[in-house]
Amino acid sequence: MEKFQKVMQMTLSFKERIPISEALRKAEGDRVLIAGWVHTVRVVGGVSFVVIRDRSGMVQCVAKKNVNPEAFNIVKELGSEDVVAVKGSLISSKASLGGKEIVIDEIYVISRAAKPVPIDPDDWEKTSLATRLDWRFLDLRSPRNRVIFEVTDVAINAMRDFYRSNGFIEIFTPKIVAEATEGGAEVFPVIYFDRNAFLAQSPQLYKQMMVISGFERVFEVGPVYRAEKHHTNRHLTEYESVDIEMGFIDDHEDVMRMVERAVQHTIETVSSKYGKIVEEYFKIKLDTPKYVPRITFREAHKLLESNGFKQPDPNDIDSEGEKALGEIIEREYGTQLFYVTEYPWVKRPFYTMKKDNDPNYTKSFDLIYRGMEIVSGSQREHRAEVLESQIKEKGLSVESFNFFIRVFRYGAPPHGGSGLGLERLVAQMLGIKNIREARLLPRDPERLTP
């Protein structure tokens, strides 16, 4: 019979359990109860070793055959990813992780893992990303992979703190909507009782409504859905968007200043809390870019051209262009974070404000970090009649946007805002090549499970 039985009847209580990181800080001779997953098992002569992993770290536990034959035998029979609990005392051990190990007094097998385990958390790199995502709950047992989401947690909390402390309130807007927010066909239809609805592509129109409602400054962290059949390393069909919208601005520069400070604060916070760990696992240094230059879209095109990069679309900058621009700006300005401003009207959504005396261009911006767009934003058109004509200009139906246009007829201040892709920010901070790695359970045109 396994010791499993014993757990039920006897003295083991997880209330006494401490995290492995805390156990490793205890003095030699101290008794501890730890529990976690079996990382590796080894038997050398009359000694069996098991490395146990919990959310806080790993520790090696040992049992000698001639001292504790029962524990020796249990350890010998353990398999990867079994869940176990160990009571024992600390001894120092130069050869071990953390300089200490635990001599096992009692060991309990709490849950056995089936064999073979499809992914070895100690060797996840050997596994293709597709298989890793199929077995995501196992993939995340690798400390390196879990760090991605610990960093995401730190990052989003830093963002929230930043915006709150600047007078923004967090709002929650509908994700089931009657109209495609940005127009276009890139929406997922939903059967809504006996009607058709869509999954929201962005909280755009609602956050603008809330500024005009009188909140003035709002932000939202929530999923957005894009029915684009992208097969790139930068696109998901479901991602987490950090949206802001603020009223009483002079122009888009006011939004840009707010967003760059939010991003700097976020990188700074992640760097101070996780900088060392990020360097260890991702071999990348997290410096906070201090200086964020602005270049206009037209300057960006000239820069690309003069550096030998052809842009297929004169009204756009493609991902290769962003990457090249990132290198050029880093070389010339020594920074990995910069704005491209004043995008052509043809490429921006109907609610974007045009430039005053230059209506082919807009009061808009993208923020590029380490060669990839992470934010798009703009000043919005707040004059109802201009908004209506821009809707027509984009070939959209004024009637279906009436719920939106009427908002502007009852007192709308100048305002602007932006949307940041959380997975892109995290991927760029960590130097992750494929955005799917930065989403817990990613959705793309092929993947709908797990």
- Return residues touching ligand ATP (CB under 6 A): 226, 234-236, 239, 241, 373-376, 419-421, 423-424, 435
- Of 234, 233, 235, 204, the closest CA to residue 220 belongs to 204
User: CB–CB of 241/203 below 8 Å?
Assistant: yes
Q: Which is nearer to ligand ATP, 87 or 424 (CB)?
A: 424
Min. distance of Cβ 365 from Mg ion in angstroms? 10
Strand-pairing partners, residue 295, are 340
Strands 31-44 and 57-64 turn out to be unpaired
Q: Closest distance between ligand ATP and the C-beta of residue 316, in Å?
A: 8
Closest CB to Mg ion among residues 57, 349? 349
**CB of 383: closest distance to ligand ATP in angstroms?**
23
424 is catalytic: yes
Is 373 annotated in the active site?
A: yes
Calculate the dihedral angle through the C-alpha atoms of 386, 390, 396, 397, rounding to the nearest 10 degrees.
Answer: 10
Which one is catalytic: 235, 252, 348, 439? 235
Q: What would the DSSP string read from start to end of 421-439? A: EHHHHHHHHHT-S-GGGGS
Please give the Cα distance from 146 to 335 (Å, whole number).
Answer: 29
Residue 201 in the binding site for Mg ion (CB under 5 A): no
- Smallest gap from Cβ 371 to ligand ATP, in A, equals 12
- In whole angstroms, how close is the CB of 26 to ligand ATP at the nearest point? 44
Residue among 57 and 371 whose Cβ is closer to ligand ATP: 371
Catalytic residue among 136, 144, 146, 234: 234
* Binds 236: which of ligand ATP, Mg ion, none (CB < 5-8 Å by kind): ligand ATP
Q: Which is nearer to ligand ATP, 119 or 435 (CB)?
A: 435
20 exposed, middle or buried (CB, 10 Å; 0-12, 13-18, 19+)? buried
Indicate if 376 belongs to the active site.
yes
C-beta of 119 vs 317, nearer to Mg ion: 317
Q: How many residues bind Mg ion (CB under 5 A)?
A: 1
Query: One of 226, 301, 370, 380 is an active-site residue; which one?
Result: 226
CB distance 336 to 374 below 8 Å:
no
Out of 424, 436, 437, 439, the active site residue is: 424
Q: Which residue's Cβ lies closest to ligand ATP? A: 421
Q: Is 235 a catalytic residue?
A: yes
Closest CA to 240 of 424, 377, 369, 366: 424
Catalytic residue flag (residue 228): yes
Residue 376 touches Mg ion, criterion: CB under 5 A: yes
Which residue number, 145 or 376, has a Cβ lying nearer to Mg ion? 376
Using CA atoms, how far residue 186 sits from 42, 183, 206, 422, 425, in Å, is 53, 8, 18, 20, 23
**Residue 173 is a binding residue for Mg ion (CB under 5 A):** no
Q: Does 202 bind Mg ion (CB under 5 A)?
A: no
Q: Which is nearer to ligand ATP, 59 or 159 (CB)?
A: 159
Rounded to the nearest 10°, the torsion over CA 297, 301, 302, 306 is 150
Could you say which of 16, 228, 253, 330 is catalytic? 228
Helix (H) or strand (E) holding 419: strand 415-421
Catalytic-labelled residue, pool 376, 378, 418, 436: 376
d(CA 80, CA 112): 9
Among the residue ranges 13-21, 299-307, 329-337, 375-383, the one whose residues contact Mg ion (CB under 5 A)? 375-383
- DSSP of 348-375: S-TTBPEETTEEEEESEEEEEETTEEEE
To ligand ATP, the closest distance from the beta carbon of 259 in angstroms equals: 11
**298-322: burial string, b at 16+ Cβ within 10 Å, e else:** eebbebbeeeebebeeeeebeeebb
The reply on whether position 241 binds Mg ion by CB under 5 A is no
Q: Least distance in Å: CB of 186 to ligand ATP?
A: 9
Give the residues lining the site for Mg ion (CB under 5 A). Answer: 376
Which residues are identified as catalytic?
226, 228, 234-235, 373, 376, 424
